[in-house]
A and B are shown apart, each in its own frame.
Chain A
Amino acid sequence: MQSGPISLVEKLWNAHKVADLGDDTALLHIDRLFLHERSGGRMLQGVASSGRPVYDPSMVIGTVDHIIDTDPGRTDRTKFPGGPEFIKQFRDGAAAAGVGVFDIDHPYQGIVHVIAPELGIAQPGMTLVCGDSHTCTMGGIGALAWGIGITQGEHVLSTQCLAVKKPRLMRVAFEGTLLPGVTAKDMILYLISQYGARGGEGAAIEFCGSAIRDLSCEARMTLCNMAVEFGAWTGVVAPDEKTIAFMRDRPFSPQQDYNQAAEAWWLTLHSDEGAVFDHDIRIDASAIAPQVTWGTSSEQSMGIGGTIPDPGGIIDPVAKASAEKALRYTGVVPGEPIAGLPIEAAFIGSCTNSRIEDLRAAAGILRGRHIAKGVKAICVPGSTPVKRQAEAEGLDRIFVESGFEWREAGCSLCFYAGGDSFGDARRVISSTNRNFENRQGVGVRSHLASPLTVAASAIAGHIADPRDYPVQ
């Protein structure tokens, strides 16, 4: 037993510890395993062929998001070659194991990290894993959530547990007030640009401070979503009254008889005064400008008013070669301002920025305006419930009238897998989380930014400051 003050992550850790395995490793109980059609079928198939039963199918659930098309009228046929095989393997495996799936026509279908909190499947204080690196999104509501591979997925299916090495504990405090036009997306890109894409290496990060408290639960999810781009194992925000309000009346939230007990426990989940962290970072939130990336790593990000950095000054040879490689790929010129760089496509979607608040924010800029000629602009709601909600609010009409395509829910062009593409467009401004080489298409250069900046840039036809496009 630990005595003295302990941190949020340690509380979550202790609440799930089944056994100490030595070597700073514990066997942790996993409260929820979320599967999707890209890797879920292989996990289920692996377990079935091992002859072991699924330990507790009632703690496992699935959705289709990665491979299915997002065009209106979609079917099981996919633009992604080989897609139907993945979907079938997943469906058959889930049915045989007794695992529920929000399938293509289900009103709850959507990107796993969007629907898990939206439906109340992910809850504060839960451990949740998924075969996807952005599972850390759920840290936004105070869940301990992280991405795993297929072999570990089979381990969870077979045992409802995982062996986990105790992570480094890091605290990142954002203090102060954000400037107008600055969002959670800008906060996380700014953090990564300051400390590097491995700045949070292997750590469990607690995000705290006045600027975090001021964020909505959805914005906290955006922030935690990119903890993995910071190299972290996961990121988490202590649940508060906002979290409790967010969780109420969701379809899978604790049912009536348990509601009070659950909420009381959730409110104990915070770091004690005096808890010790291995690493502390403090950020002045008011110093953050809208961010946009110029390279092929999220650390290659800067304020919208900045100029492309010159790698000539980098001393370390590997770091220098890496920056030069990124510049070659993205085709930007050191010394030139990033604002004004012409774009050919704009994308609003992905588990980072496709929730209803993201769409409302982008629509605020798009209302009464039209995107620039020659820009291919696409909006993909993160889930079918988000899409329905947006349509009820008339946001879909704003997107369409401004020149955006309005799609069905899914991961869509967050990544290119050989099917759907941006066509001839080579430079894309995107609300997604990865600007890796070829991530959104062969040779496609991705500039990551907030939905506000994407909307403003789509109108301008070049990378643009959202503050120049006030809501009309």
Chain B
Amino acid sequence: MEPFVRIKGVAAPLPIDNVDTDAIIPSRETQSVARTGYGEKLFANWRYAPGTRDRNADFVLNQAPFDSACILVAARNFGCGSSREAAVWALSQFGIRCVIAESFGTIFRNNCVRNGLLPIIMPLATVELLLDQLQDQAQDPIISVDLDAQTIHGPDGAEYPFQIGALEREMLLNGADEIDLTLQKRHLIEAFRQQDRARRPWVYQDMPELARTMEKVR
């Protein structure tokens, strides 16, 4: 996973509540088992005229300079809905590395931090201020994000601190592989399972074995 330390660049405003993962990546845009090629599919229903790849000029990511955004500022409950990780892949492959919102869908947020995409939670007042500044042509829509320092700088240069869990921060800063980290605790997992098996033996019934027995009955 690509580490995230700090970035600076164009931020696109998306002042809508409850942007769901069906909007971020429609189901019909995920017809291949591949993990690549999602960038052009991002927000397909909003970005293109129905059934085509003709760009809808009204949509923010089709407008310069937002078409080269690396940050997205949304509103409440961004990424609610399904667990599809392709929503995060689509944002990343478009070039978005950070989303700032008042709140996020839980599964989406979990998927972000495991794909090197930084989800930043800010109070609604700050989010709405940033949205206003990004839509105000008088200043460049540039935001800088520093995960190490846990701050962002808005288009007007003002600094805002943000909170993120220490473990998630470490994982993003180092681009760490979570599976490797967990497997270092293999002895603890095995010890837990040994005790647990004595406590809750029914949980350790072998499902394939049960299934085979049932097949015979059938």
Contacts and interface: CB of A to CB of B under 8 A. Distances in A.
Interface of A: 15, 17-19, 21-25, 27, 29, 31, 39, 41-42, 45, 50, 52, 57-61, 80-82, 85-86, 89, 98-100, 107, 121, 123, 125-126, 131-133, 146-152, 154-155, 158-161, 163, 165, 197-198, 201-202, 228-229, 231-233, 251-252, 254-255, 258-259, 261-262, 265, 296-297, 299, 317-319, 321-322, 325, 415-418, 434, 436-439, 442-443
Nearest to B201: A258
Interface stretch (B62-70, B148-156, B186-194): B186-194
B158 interface: no
7 contacts: A27-B189, A121-B207, A151-B111, A152-B111, A197-B80, A201-B103, A442-B50
Interface in B156-188: 165-167, 178-179, 182-183, 185-186, 188
A297 B18 contact: yes
A31 B128 CA distance: 43
Contact of A442 (B15, B51, B77, B103): B51
B26 interface: yes
Interface residues of B, number: 66
Contact of B203 (A31, A82, A154): A31
A80 B31 contact: yes
Given A261-B202, A417-B31, 14 more contacts: A18-B192, A31-B203, A82-B32, A85-B32, A100-B207, A121-B207, A149-B114, A154-B179, A160-B189, A231-B77, A252-B210, A297-B17, A322-B18, A436-B22
B202 A258 contact: yes
B208 A98 contact: yes
A422 to B, nearest CB: 14
Nearest to B31: A82
Given A22-B167, A61-B207, A133 B200 contact: no
B1 to A, nearest CB: 9
Closest CB pairs A-B (n = 5): A418-B28, A254-B202, A82-B31, A258-B202, A149-B85
Given A132-B83, A233-B106, A415-B22, A318 B203 contact: no
Contacts of A233: 106
B179 A155 contact: yes
Interface string B193-209: 10010001111111111
B203 A86 contact: no
A89 B32 CA distance: 11
A163 B182 contact: yes
B46 to A, nearest CB: 9
B97 interface: no
B207 to A, nearest CB: 5
B29 to A, nearest CB: 8
A39 B87 CA distance: 13
Given A231-B106, A318-B75, A322-B16, A159 B32 contact: no
Contacts of B210: 251-252, 255
Contact of A19 (B33, B45, B188): B188
A159 B179 contact: yes
Given A133-B107, A161-B189, A197-B80, A58 B209 contact: yes
Contacts of B26: 438
A86 B33 contact: yes
Nearest to B26: A438
B9 interface: no
Contacts of B18: 197-198, 296-297, 299, 322
A58 B16 CA distance: 44
Contacts of A436: 20, 22-23, 81
Contact of B166 (A23, A147, A231, A322): A23
Contacts of A50: 179
- Considering residues A99, A231, A416, which has the most beta carbons from chain B within 10 angstroms of its beta carbon? A231
Nearest to A415: B27
A121 to B, nearest CB: 7
B37 to A, nearest CB: 12
B106 to A, nearest CB: 5
Interface string B101-117: 00101110011001100
A373 B15 CA distance: 41
Contacts of B115: 151
Contact of A100 (B82, B105, B179, B208): B208
Nearest to B44: A438
B131 interface: yes
Nearest to A127: B203
B76 interface: yes
A324 to B, nearest CB: 10
Contacts of B188: 18-19, 27
B22 A438 contact: yes
B107 A147 contact: yes
B31 A29 contact: no
A319 B17 contact: yes
- From B50, B77, B82, B167, residue with most partner A Cβ within 10 Å: B82
Contact of A131 (B17, B51, B83, B193): B83
B208 A318 contact: no
A132 B107 CA distance: 9
B214 interface: yes
A438 B48 CA distance: 14
A311 B79 CA distance: 23
B8 interface: no
A253 to B, nearest CB: 8
B107 A148 contact: yes
Nearest to A61: B207
Nearest to B27: A417
B216 interface: no
A297 B18 CA distance: 7
A228 B72 CA distance: 24
B35 interface: yes
A50 B180 CA distance: 11
Nearest to A229: B80
A58 B207 contact: yes
B200 A18 contact: no
A58 B207 CA distance: 5
